[in-house]
Structure 1
Amino acid sequence: IMFMMFAISSSLSSIHMEYKNYTWQRLLSSPIHKIYVLLGYLMAYFLLGWIQLGVLLTILSIFFNVYLGNLFLILLFGSFVIGLVVSLGFMIATLSQTKKQAEIFSAIVIVGSCMLGGIYWPLDIVPYIMKKISLTIPQTWMMSGFGEIMSGNVNLSILLLDATVLIAFTVIFMIIGLKSIRSY
């Protein structure tokens, strides 16, 4: 999850190169509506995320013989995770002023939230207050959902809660990103 977040966030910071090279301005001044330009970018990064997750799941399954659980649920939940990562990267890219600033901000946000969200170590070993804080971190819900699917005994109510929280984070990040986008 963390490496996918880094790859997509750094890729999305390429929007700053589009600003610098005036490609962004030309795209937005064309007769194509701004939403289609944005959708094109977001779909490309969504596809990039799926390529990364697909390679990872394939390697885990073939080389390490990891049980992935229900493939349909993995694909569906993986799409929610990738959507969230793309919207987070988009928000960071639009809130920052330069590509370097976006990369540094991404690193701080991703590493910090992965620590708090249970990516580096299980949340079972952290103090009670950290468990409560982790509920505000998307990675907590990502790990919970993937863990639920890979357990082989899926509790759909838990999985639905995990997916709903990821969708809420995705919408919030996307709204912030859309409000912060510059067209200059």
Structure 2
Amino acid sequence: MKKIIAICGVELSLIFKKPQNYLMMFAAPLLLTLVFGGLLGGNDDKVRLAIVDQDDTLLSQHYIRELKQLDDMYTFQTMSKSKASEKLKQKKIAGVITLSRTFQEKLEKGEKPELVFSHGPELTGAPVAKQYAESKLAKLNIQVTAAKTAAEAAGESWKSAYKTVIAKDHRDSAPAVKRESLNDKKEGKGVSDTASRAAGFSILFVMLTMMGAAGTILEARKSGVWQRLLTASVSRAEIGAGYVLSFFVIGWIQFGMLLLASHWLFGISWGNPAALIVLVSFFLFAVVGIGLMIAAHVRTPEQQLAFGNLFVIATCMVSGMYWPIEIEPKLMQSIADFLPQKWAMSGLTEIIANGATITDILGICGILFAFAAVTFTAGLKALRT
């Protein structure tokens, strides 16, 4: 055990001797969290959108009321077309939803009205907002169809049926349905953009660091370090265990420092410490296994770094580290199920938002353990050959 710890200590000292490593490990993820989560996100996580109602009819007004129901994600303001265009240019709003003059006419004919969604390039959540608007429009179309059917049966106009049956406000007669956000159980708030970015960038940069660290195995083999250790009565298993332990410790030092720094700088509460430790540990073992697999199939540390970084960046994109995974195509979402980042992010969200304990994330930890077992076994087997 002393030999394993000694090898681990040497590798840690080599990593932390290089000043540029501190930039990659700590400064870069915190800076990106500040920029994308803090400054761009602002103090209000809601997206401000304007609605231009050119139709001004029963159905267009009801559609606007339906849109405004999701008030914890979007803030909608009804305004004129000229005023909305001006505010969009000034970046006081993120986008504009314009209802055409034939909005109600199209719905009466059973056709889909035209919705024009204008926004700037900085609105990364535009597909989600557009999908939300279209889902409300689809619901309204169903309601109109139902009202027309009911009107025919009752021998009255569809507008009367719509007003009395569908457009009636049921809030006084039925209990309100509260849309509970992820963190309502603890603080009455959802997961902030800053917390989400901090978790995503922490996962990304920890993986990048560990991909580079895994390349030290190749460097040690190439420079003859392994051969010298073997002649010094150190077994191959002890050498491998020392390196693996160093990768794991490096990952935890980086992740731990990022958690503490983001808590102090951005006020992020990371939830249950025990659940966090277990989840991150399983994830780090899975990442170490991936690093070993890549190291076993390349010849130089440079190749390890190049292929490792390419793998990490590409898979983090698919796993929803940069944007909500819900806006991705179904194929990409299916691929994400086979990547550890997706499950690590899901676990962190549960811990941060819902105050999940170890028992609450046992399923996610089991999946990460399976990732670690498969990648470790494959990586070690390939390294022996």
Deviation, structure 1 residue 26: 2.3
In the alignment, residue 371 of structure 2 is paired with which amino acid?
F
Structure 2 residue 273 is matched with structure 1 residue 71:
yes
Deviation, structure 1 residue 78: 1.2
Q: How does 1:104-123 map to 2 (within 5 A)?
A: 104-123=306-325
Specify the structure having the higher radius of gyration (Cα): 2
Q: CA deviation digits over 1:131-167, x for unaligned, max 9?
A: 1121111111110111111113427666112111111
From 56, 80, 87, the equivalent of 2:258 is: 56
> Comparing both chains, which one has the higher relative contact order based on Cα–Cα distances under 8 Å and sequence gaps of 6 or more?
1
The aligned residue for residue 229 of structure 2 is 27
Partners of 2:317 and 2:357 lie apart in 1 by: 26
| Cα separation, partners in 2 of 1:116 and 1:157, compared to 1, 3 Å | farther
In the alignment, residue 353 of structure 2 is paired with which amino acid?
S
Residue range with higher mean Cα deviation, 24-33 or 136-145 = 24-33
Q: How high is the sequence identity, in percent, across the aligned residues?
A: 33
Q: CA deviation digits over 1:13-65, x for unaligned, max 9?
A: 01121112111122234433221111111111111111101110001111100
The aligned residue for residue 294 of structure 2 is 92
User: Structure 1: which 5+ residue stretches go unaligned?
Assistant: none
2:266 is paired with a residue whose SS is coil
User: Structure 2: which 5+ residue stretches go unaligned?
Assistant: 1-202
Structure 1 contact 88–173 (Cα < 8 Å) conserved: yes
Deviation, structure 1 residue 80: 1.0
| Cα separation, partners in 2 of 1:35 and 1:156, compared to 1, 3 Å | same
| Cα separation, partners in 2 of 1:157 and 1:134, compared to 1, 3 Å | farther
Deviation, structure 1 residue 120: 1.3
In the alignment, residue 60 of structure 1 is paired with which amino acid?
S
The aligned residue for residue 154 of structure 1 is 356
Residue range with higher mean Cα deviation, 125-134 or 29-38 = 29-38
The aligned residue for residue 46 of structure 1 is 248
From 99, 105, 127, the equivalent of 2:329 is: 127
Q: CA deviation digits over 1:81-112, x for unaligned, max 9?
A: 11111221122112211111111110111111
Partners of 1:81 and 1:107 lie apart in 2 by: 17
In the alignment, residue 127 of structure 1 is paired with which amino acid?
P
Structure 2 residue 217 is matched with structure 1 residue 15:
yes
Deviation, structure 1 residue 182: 4.8
Deviation, structure 1 residue 177: 1.1
Partners of 2:333 and 2:262 lie apart in 1 by: 28
Partners of 2:280 and 2:336 lie apart in 1 by: 20
Partners of 1:155 and 1:129 lie apart in 2 by: 31
Paired residues, what number?
A: 183
| Cα separation, partners in 2 of 1:25 and 1:182, compared to 1, 3 Å | farther
Partners of 2:209 and 2:355 lie apart in 1 by: 31
Partners of 2:323 and 2:291 lie apart in 1 by: 24
1:63 is paired with a residue whose SS is helix
Aligned-CA RMSD value: 1.7
Structure 2 contact 278–358 (Cα < 8 Å) conserved: no
- TM-score for both structures, normalised by structure 1: 0.92
Instruction: Detail structure 1 runs of 4+ shifted over 4 Å in the superposition.
Output: 155-158
